[in-house]
Amino acid sequence: MQTLNVDLGARSYPIYIGSGLLQRVDLLVPHLPYKRAALISNETVFPLFGTRLLENLTRSGVETVPVILPDGESYKTWETLDRIFDALLLHALDRKSTLIALGGGVIGDLAGFAAATYQRGVPFIQIPTTLLAQVDSSIGGKTAVNHARGKNMIGAFYQPKVVLADTDALKALPQRELCAGLAEVIKYGLIRDAEFFSWLEVHLDNLLARDAVALTHAILRSCENKAAVVAADEREQGERALLNLGHTFGHAIETALGYGEWLHGEAVAVGMVMAAQLSCERGHCTEADLRRTIAILERAGLPIRAPAIAAERMLELMQLDKKNDSGKIRLILLHRIGEAFVEPGVERTQLLEFLGRVNTP
């Protein structure tokens, strides 16, 4: 087992990474202020891992209420969030009760937002079961639900008490989900870790084959990068914005197509290609860096071309991005592989022309 720490002073918390950790309720119980909890999962994950976890928690003396939600990005809504609140109120969970998120990014976001708002804040724990959630969404305290007009537009910053990432859970992950998670892994190399990017180029086939050693290294290195950025800029006032490379384009794609049509990692992959293309066109990064970016994402089984969405629609959705400032669209672009930066404002006409070329219906 590897242990990292997200350094946030009094709100610091550990990230445990390793094999067989879903059996280690001893890693969870010390973070329960009161032995009462709600286990929030979905219809796909709960039969795989939730039943055993529920039994182990009960044996440890933790009274646990299961809350099983439908599976999919399309259910990351206020209506689904309300189902969590219904269960918490029905079973009279109080402020010392803990919410445990068992699942991918959707479950983590829903449980985290519920924890942030139920009785003005209760403890919660992240147990991510997808690669994307293990390397990204479970760490850092971003919680949200989607809105028809924009992704993750309603939410809160709210940190977990502990993150437990069991690499064995990835054995059950569909290949498409594994590839989507690799998009976020590759992102860390692009934005701040050129050495890791080079390692990924060499070991990508091992990751796609689910080699345990390679996966553990990739998860650990990704979490190290995420933890360092979150510790330096918890509420995205500066450096943390770099973690959104490709997300301004990607979130617009997800919203335009309908949540769940493309996986988040797939949309981010195309968004990173678009960001690299725009960076190259504006003289920030080289053609060689653009080619390497496209090549590794394509090898990872990810889309590299934008879907047919009208430029005006893409721009309309990009204008809702949370990084925007005073009406200006802020983008994360690349100086080179391993060094991203915030572009404070690209002219609307320039963006429309660019989107018209790469997103022609």
Q: Is there a catalytic annotation at residue 335?
A: no
Handedness of CA 108, 109, 111, 117 (dihedral sign): positive
Q: Which of 247, 292, 322, 330 is catalytic?
A: 247
**Residue 142 known to be catalytic:** yes
| Nearest in space to 206 (alpha carbons), one of 195, 218, 220 | 218
| Angle made by CA atoms 335, 340, 346, in degrees to the nearest 5 | 80
Which candidate in 83, 142, 284, 322 is catalytic?
142
Catalytic (active site) residue 217: no
The catalytic residue among 59, 79, 120, 287 is: 120
Q: Do the beta carbons of residue 31 and residue 25 sit within 8 Å?
A: no
Residues contacting 149, CB < 8 A, separation 6+: 255, 320
Which member of 76, 187, 221, 251 is catalytic?
Answer: 251
The one catalytic residue among 184, 234, 266, 343: 184
Q: Token digits for 44?
A: 């796909």
15 vs 138: CA distance, rounded Å:
10
Residue 219 CA to residue 94 CA, distance in Å, equals 34
* Strands, sheet with 13-18, edge to edge from the N-terminal-most edge strand: 2-6, 13-18, 163-166, 124-128, 98-103, 36-42, 63-69
Q: Cα–Cα distance between 99 and 120 in angstroms, integer?
A: 13
Q: Which residue in the list 76, 83, 240, 292 is annotated as catalytic?
A: 240
Which residue of the set 76, 244, 323, 330 is catalytic? 244
Q: Which of the residues 187, 264, 322, 330 is marked catalytic? A: 264
Whether 226 is catalytic is yes
Give all strands (DSSP E) within the chain, no chain letters.
2-6, 13-18, 36-42, 63-69, 98-103, 124-128, 142-147, 150-157, 163-166, 331-336, 339-343
**What is the C-alpha separation between 188 and 247, in angstroms, rounded?**
13
Report the distance separating Cα 311 and Cα 231, nearest Å: 36
Name the active-site residue from 151, 161, 187, 226.
226
Which among 234, 236, 254, 343 is annotated as catalytic? 236
Residue 120 among the catalytic residues? yes
Respond yes or no: is residue 240 known to be catalytic: yes
Catalytic residues: 120, 142, 184, 226, 236, 240, 244, 247, 251, 264
